[in-house]
Structures are given as C-alpha cells and as structure tokens.
Amino acid sequence: MDKISPNRDTGRLGIMLACLYLISGSISLAYEILWTRMLSIQFGISIFGVVVTVTAFMAGLGSGSLLGTRWSQRVGKPLQIFAALELGIAVAALLIPTLFQSLNMSLASASPDLGLTGWFALQIVVITLVLMVPAFAMGIGFPMILTAVKNTSISLGGLYGINALGGAVGALIPLWLLPTFGWLGSIRAIATLGFVVAGVAFMLSRSDLSVSPAIHRKITRPPWKWLLAYAGIGAGALLLEIGWTRLFGMVMLRTEYVLAIILAVFLIGIGVGSIIAKYMIRDFWLTVLPVLAGTFAIASLWWVPELSSWVEETQFDSLSSALLGQGFAITFITLPVTLVLGAWLPLFAKRLGDHYQYGVWLYGANSLGAACGALIAGFALIPMIGTASTVIVGAMLLLILGLGWSGSRFAWVSVLILGVASIPVRAMAPVPELLPKIYSGARNLYLYEDALSITHVVEKPDGQRQLLDDLRRMDASSDPTAVVVQKNQARLPLLLHPNPKRVLFLGLGTGISAAGSLPFQIKERTAVELSAGAIKAARKYFRVVNNDVTDKMKIVRDDARHFLMRDRSSYDVIIGDLFHPDLVGRSALLSRQQFQRAKARLAHGGIFTQWLALNQFDITDLQVILRTFKQVFPNAVMFVDGFRLAMVGKNTGHIHGYDMLENLKRLSGNEADKATGGEGPWTWLGRYWGVIPDFQVAIQDEWAPVIEYHLPGARYSGGLDLSNLLSWLISIRPSIQQAANNLQIGNSNFTKFKGAYSATEMAHESWIALLKNHADAGRRLLPQAYKANPRDRWIGFALADDVLADKDLVEERGVSERQLLKSILHIRPDHTEALKGLWHLAEAAGNKELAEHYRDRLAALSPLDSDLRDRKNAAR
C-alpha cells in the first residue's frame, strides 16, 4: 500500500480548511443579518440596526484580527483555538436574544431620565459592546485559520476570497430562514451549524493532517501610513455600503432585504476579486482599480432614478421574484466596485512584500476603518450632507487613497473628472424622477433627511400635498377625502369616551388626525413623532389643512415605544396612527408589549385605539393583530370606518353607546356636528363591528414577530385581497340585535341604530361587489344604503360619484350639467368636484356672486386646490 505523501496530506488539509472557513463565513454573515433584524426591532428604525450591527462587526473583526496576528504566531495548534472560537460564537448567538431582552428591560428602567438622543446613544454603546464580543472572536479566527493553512497551497487571496464567498451565501440564507422559522428559530438554526463547524475544526486539530506551524517570535507590520490608507479605504467602502442600503432600501424592498443583497454582492465581489488578484501581476492595475471603483460608485447615483422607475413599473408575482430581479439590478450597479475592493487586499499585501503577515495587518486596519466609516456615515455625514453626498465622499475616498498606491501622476486627473461628474447627483433626485408613474407632473416642496428617516412633501398637479416617509406613501394627504379619513382617527375614540380631557397621539404625520380633536373640549393634546421632517412639514406645509393644530398641542420628538416607557402621565384617550406594518421595526408598534405600554398610560376608564389599514393585511395576519390586542384588552371591540379598522380597548369596563351620547350632550349643536364630522352619533355607532373574537393564531411579540415575515410575500403574491378580507369581516359581524345589546342601545334608539348599522353593512357589500367586478350588483345596493342612513359620508360619496360617472347618460335624458351637479350636492353638500363644476359654470354665465359662493365653499373644503391657487395668482 502506498503511503500518502506530505504534499498530498497538506493538500487535503488545505481543501478541508478552505471548506470549513467558507461555512464559517456563511455563519458569520447570517448572524450579521439576523442581529441587524433584531436591532431594527430594538430601535424601531432599520438604518440604525444596520449601522450599529455593521459597526460592531467591523470593529470586532478588525481588533480581533490584529490581536490574533500576534497570538497566532505563538500557538502550536491554531485549529484548536479556531474551534474554541467557533464554539464560543455559537453559544453567544444563543444567549444574545435573552441578553437583549434583559437589556431592553434595564434600558427601559433608565429611560425616564433620558431623552431620545440619550436613549439612542445608550443603546448604541451597550449593543455595540455586546455584539463586538462575538465579532472579536470572528476576527481572531482569520489569522488562526491563515496560520493553519500556511504550509498548504491556499493563498491569502484565496482564503480571503473563499471566506467572502461563504459570507455572500450566509447573507442570503436569512431571507429564506426568517419567513420559515422566524427570528429566534433562525438564530438557533445558524448556531447549530456553528457547533458543527467547531466540532469539525476540533477533530481536524487532533488528526495527523493538522500540522503545527513554526513558532515566529518576531512580529512585523506594514508602515503606519499604509495601514491608515487602507483603513481609509475600509471607511470609504462602508460609506458606500450604508449609503447604498439607504438609497436602495428607499426605492426597492425593505431595508434588511436590501442589506442582505448588498452584503452578498459586496462579498461576492470581494471573494472573486481576491481570487483573481493573483492574475493581476502588472503594476498598472494599482492605477486602474481606484479609477474603476470611483467611477462606478459615482455612476450608481446616476442610475438610482432609472432603478427606481424600473422597480415602480415592474410587476413581480412573488417575493422571490422581486428579490431575484432587484438583486440582479443591485449586483449590476455595485459589483464592479466590490470586485476592486476584493482585489486590493492581496495586491497591497504583495506590494508591501510579506504576503501573510502584512495581509492580516491590512485586513485588521481595513475592518477598523470600516467600523469608523459606518458610524460616520450613519450619524454624521447622512444627517449633515445627505445620503447621495455620503456616497460621493465614499467614492472619492476609494479613488484618492487607492491612487496613493499607484505610481501614475496622470491618473490623478480622474479625481477632477469624477468630482465634476458628481456635482449633478450630490443631492437626492426629486420624487417625480424616482417615481415618475405615480408622481408624474408633481414637484418637490420639501426634503428633510437625518439619521432616522427621509421626509418629502410633494405637491401634485391638482395642488394637493402628500407626506412621504422614506419615499413610501403614507396615508397623509391634503386631499379632502384623505383629510376626513385622518380626522376620523381622532373622532371615533374621542366620541367613545364620555369626557376626554387629555389625549395622546402616537404619531403626528401631517397633524390632520390631531385636528379631528379640535371640536372637543380637550385640555391637553400631546403628539409623539420620531421624524423631525414630519414635525416641520406639519407646522409649515399642512398648516392650512390641519387647522393650525400644532399650535394647540405639545409635540414630543421621540420613539413611541420609548415615550410610553419613560412617560409617567395618564391619558383619557391614546390614539395609534396608521403605518406600514410590514416595514422592519414598525410591526413592534402592533406587538403585545406595545399594547401593554399603552394600557399602562391610560387613566381610569381610558381608551386606546389602534388603527389598521385593511388593504395592508391578509385575513391571517389581521387575526394575529386582533388576537394580540385582545390578549391585552380582553373586552376590546372593533369599528370599521371605510377601509380602516379600529381596535378599541378600555382599561376598565366596556364600550357603550350611551358614553358617546353623553359626550355629545356637553357640546353645542355646531360643536357636536363638527365632532362627528357631520355624520351624527348613530353613523359612528353603526360602524361597530363587535367584540374581537377568539382566534387560534400566533401572537405578535416584539421578540418573536409574525406579520412582517408574512406580509411582504402576501403583497407580491396577491394575498392582500381586500374583497376577501371585507367578506370575512362581514361574516364575523354580529347581528343588529347582538350589536345593540353589546353597546346597550335602548329600545327608544334602536330604530336609529338599526338604520345606521344596516347601511354600513350594505355599503360594504356594495364595495365587495365592485371589487369583484360585479358593478351592477354593487350599484344597486348604494341607494338602499343611502336611504337607510343618508348621513353616512362614504355611502353618500359613493352614490354621488356614481351619479357623476353617468353624466353623459343623464344629459341624454335632457338634464343639464348644472342640474346634475346640483343633484350631486343634494346628496353630498361637500362634494368638491360638484362645487368646482358649479363655480366654473356660474363664472362662465357671468354670475359673479354665485361663483364666489361656490368658490368659497370649495376653498373651505379643499384650500390647496390648484384652480383656487391659479386664480389667486392670476388676481395678483
């Protein structure tokens, strides 16, 4: 039998260790994505989770690598150390969720003494220090495994590239694990794989294949100027990574998906670049690579509007296809830069002369620089100069510091050329360029960007304004219908309380919701809003439609969860605003813990109302939130206003109809009419949907979220079918008699209640028919619903719009346009299109007094209408 040769032994060892380190890289990046996910829940803001996780990872990797460089030269069994490190990382991964839950409670106890900035700063410091521990162990592992393969054929570039490619796979694995196993299950699955890697490494360290390295007493390092230069390149790379995550997360999928894709592309580029670097033997590559990196980084800003427009117009049939398609787009834009980043480490190490030791020093310096870059990007540059300019700074850092390794003077001309090319894209593109389909003809009125969010105010051609948060449309518009919807969010809970004096709004937005409280005799209004841009927009750009409510309330810039933890006041009514529930961190506002915090802040008999937009849910996920709310408020009930559902919980007792009637008795007739939005109390009680039933579904927990994993897939697969959801809601609605009993409606008022209750149900059946393309059936129900309750705004407008849609048919029967429009006003006196039409007709007929009458009525309902603005400008 032939004996295996030493060369063959070391070859086998090299292959095994390369495979092991590939898997180790996958595990590390999977942890990074999962911990980012966890911190997004902790902070409630995706970009904070990204910045803190990346900072902790890179700082830990860098410092661990530099320490490990010295340590690895003095140990005889580096694989045993590597195995122990992998074991410790897996144990830490299992303990971190429990540790962070404990930290959350400890930080909450400290929060009364901290403002928003202090609270965030405390979390950032504590969380970074905690996550640096496993990242530090990962950093030590690099020189250990590098020492173990030193006598094999595996090169520095090869090992670095293999680990990076494994990391690319690991960055994508959570995208499959999270929807399948949830956050905690995914952590446990990855930790289990970590235990396997530790076991295999330990067995290899005891085998005959494990060759102890020679002991090196002398530790050498590259000159400091080159370490600092490569650290600056690391900082530039992270400026790009954070900036790209912010930009692409704004126009594409949710931030943690984009981070996973960007990290995967970064690591694929680094891995491939490291591997092919050995073929770049000519010095001219040290000149070409910085120019390529800077050019493509600047070009990425030019491509953002095209990418956003493509995403807006492309129909994806599943979340997987969206991830794949958008992932390829990101790859096309960013891969050239990451290939350069990967090639630089082995090229620079080779240039300096010591292939292995210098490579580890450079890796450590680069990682520490990257940690600084992440912090600077997230907490300094983005708030100061914006995301686009942050990307430009990163691109210029790569170009200038990269050229420092080049001997070409002519190449420095590229700095001037790219500097000029970056001027047109130094600011974020306007919304109409990013979303030309939705906002064609619109114009930017306002842009505010800080470390927390990007806020736009956009004016559409009809003059109406919309508030956009991170480019996602909020239900916050100056359109008259949207104004009513927003004010109704305050009207319902304030009507249900017998005597509301102190009210808390969790979310300010445009301030229009809070304006719904103005007719009530409120002593103290408080609004909590995290976005400084939204606060400024409400005070300036929506003042005309929020009735100057910001001057009549206390506005606190804070996170809603943090505010409820630190505030010690009691409120009669707390109102949870609408938001997109599938965004990272936002679903925590629909968690059991958040509902408990709100309940703790209610005065005796206080009411908490959380609004949900029905078009953002499927049946199962709506049941999850309903069950979660009921667990905290056992007697909770539902109301449905149009396509929005209100969960109403009372900390003592039940919701009764007579509380609303008693409330309105204290108001004058005009105030009472304004308090109900002109619809009267019976319309509102007719929107009652019963006690929340018992559902056998999961609970939405901050540390075990459910809906944010399900909803993105449902959105792309067509699962968010509003007609099915409305049909299901109709099926669980109690009978009229049962509803009257629940609300304790007396016999003397039963007829009024019955008309409103049945009208609401007929209206929903009409909408279901229309959504299912049964137009005739839907239109037949509207007159019946209107007859049952003509004060219901949604029914009246649906009927009026239906009449307006038949304009040509009516004119064929000899009805004039003026008669038609007046008949619409008879149905709904606040119908803006009818008022505008009558204004123009009166003006054309030369009836100036009548024209002014209709114009003034229109101005009261829609003060930002473009026709009114144009006439006012013309009069000047």
User: Is it true that domain 806-875 has CATH number 2.60.40?
Assistant: no
pLDDT tens track for 585-595: 677 889 999 99
d(CA 602, CA 501) in angstroms, rounded, equals 12
Which backbone phi and psi does 315 adopt, to 5 degrees? -100, 115
- Reading the block at residue 643, the tokens are 């396509």
The topology under which CATH files domain 224-429 is Growth Hormone; Chain: A; (1.20.1250)
Nearest Cα residue to 754 out of 766, 745, 767, 765: 745
Task: Look at strands 524-529 and 602-613 and give their pairing.
Answer: unpaired
pLDDT at 624: 96
Pair 479, 464: CB distance under 8 Å: yes
d(CA 157, CA 292) in angstroms, rounded, equals 20
pLDDT of 277 > 50? The answer is yes
pLDDT at 272: 82
Across the strands, what pairs with 454?
Answer: 449
pLDDT of 280 > 60? The answer is yes
Query: Which of the residue ranges 197-211, 289-303, 826-840 would you say has the lowest mean pLDDT?
Result: 197-211
Pair 245, 428: CB distance under 8 Å: no
In this chain, the answer to whether the domains covering 1-210 and 224-429 adopt an identical fold is: yes
Mean predicted confidence (pLDDT) in 400-421: 90
| Ordered strands of the 465-469 beta sheet | 443-449, 454-459, 465-469, 472-477
Pair 651, 613: CB distance under 8 Å: no
Mean predicted confidence (pLDDT) in 832-860: 93
Mean predicted confidence (pLDDT) in 289-300: 94
Write the DSSP assignment of 406-460 as a string of letters.
---SGGGHHHHHHHHHHGGGSSPPPHHHHSTTTSTT-EEEEEEE-SS-EEEEEE-
Query: Which of the residue ranges 275-284, 327-336, 539-548 would you say has the lowest mean pLDDT?
Result: 275-284
pTM: 0.89
pLDDT of 450 > 80? The answer is yes
Across the strands, what pairs with 640?
Answer: 645
pLDDT at 256: 58
Label residue 4 by pLDDT band (50, 70, 90).
very low
Q: Which CATH number fits domain 1-210: 1.10.3470, 1.10.10, 1.20.1250, 1.20.120?
A: 1.20.1250
Pair 616, 721: CB distance under 8 Å: no
Most confident of 4-8, 29-33, 101-105, 395-399: 395-399
528 vs 469: which has the higher pLDDT: 528
Label residue 874 by pLDDT band (50, 70, 90).
low
pLDDT tens track for 327-361: 888 888 888 998 888 888 777 777 776 555 677 78
Helix axis angle for 319-352 and 707-717, nearest 10°, is 110
Label residue 1 by pLDDT band (50, 70, 90).
very low
- Output the CATH code of domain 472-745: 3.40.50.150
R_g (Cα) of the chain, nearest Å: 31
pLDDT tens track for 355-406: 556 777 887 888 899 899 988 998 899 989 999 999 999 999 999 998 988 8
For the chain, the domains span: 1-210, 224-429, 472-745, 806-875
pLDDT at 155: 66
C-alpha angle 519-521-522 in degrees, rounded to nearest 5: 105
pLDDT at 415: 94
Question: Alpha helix locations (H) across 497-569?
Answer: 512-515, 532-540, 560-566
pLDDT at 5: 46
Longest dimension (CA), the chain: 113
Mean predicted confidence (pLDDT) in 82-97: 91
Q: H-helix or E-strand containing 860? A: helix 848-861
pLDDT of 267 > 90? The answer is no
Label residues 210-221 b or e (16+ Cβ within 10 Å = b). Answer: bbebeeeeeeeb
For residue 776, the tally of other CB atoms under 10 A from its CB is 8
Q: Which long-range contacts link 861-864 to residues 24+ away (Cβ below 8 Å)? A: 861/480, 861/830, 861/832, 861/835, 862/464, 862/478, 862/479, 862/480, 862/832, 863/544, 863/545, 864/459, 864/463, 864/464, 864/465, 864/478, 864/544, 864/545
pLDDT of 568 > 90? The answer is no
Pair 794, 807: CB distance under 8 Å: no
d(CA 863, CA 856) in angstroms, rounded, equals 9
